[in-house]
Amino acid sequence: MFNFLLVVQILVSISIISLVMLQQGKGADMGAAFGSGASGTIFGSQGSSSFFTRATGVLAAIFFINCLLIASPLVRDSGKTSESLADQIEQQAADIRKAVEQEGVAGTLEKLQTETADLPTDLPVATEAPVAADVPAGAQDLPE
């Protein structure tokens, strides 16, 4: 259904473009009003403007209705299960819990150790609390 509406949308768009390009400008109507030979045309003495204007209006209505149908979630493929981000995160957490239960905590720790083996181990460790001299001036007066 979506593909059909997409094809209709493209055809209607091309039709609207061609109809707008075929329409005469507003200045051409003045010549027809004073009887410059336009009464012998195929569309009558008013010229082709009313026919093209009506056809453009009808195609524009079809275009807008088709836009609404294409945007509707009812037309999209309902067979797909679109999971939200929260559902995907819950599924990943369930997979991790399942892996921990199957391999045990020791197996999971071994995996983590092998994955983090490339990390540097010679980083300095902060063992002392900051000295009061490191605190900026006026920070001692602030309430906690």
The DSSP annotation for 32-55 comes to HHTTSSGGGSTT-TT-SHHHHHHH
pLDDT digits (tens, 9 = 90+) for 93-125: 888 788 777 776 666 667 766 766 666 666 666
Structure token digits, residue 15: 């039709």
| Helix axes 49-71 and 2-22, enclosed angle (nearest 10) | 160
DSSP code of 70? H
Structure token digits, residue 137: 């001036």
Q: State yes or no: pLDDT of 26 exceeds 60.
A: yes
When pLDDT is cut at 50, 70 and 90, the band that residue 27 belongs to is low
Distance CA 122, CA 25 (A): 80
Domain boundaries, the chain: 2-71, 83-114
Structure token digits, residue 50: 């009313």
HSE toward the beta carbon, residue 81, CA cutoff 13 A: 3
Residues sharing a CB contact under 8 Å with residue 31, sequence separation 6 or more, in sequence order: 38
Query: Please, are residues 47 and 31 in contact by the beta-carbon 8 Å criterion?
Result: no
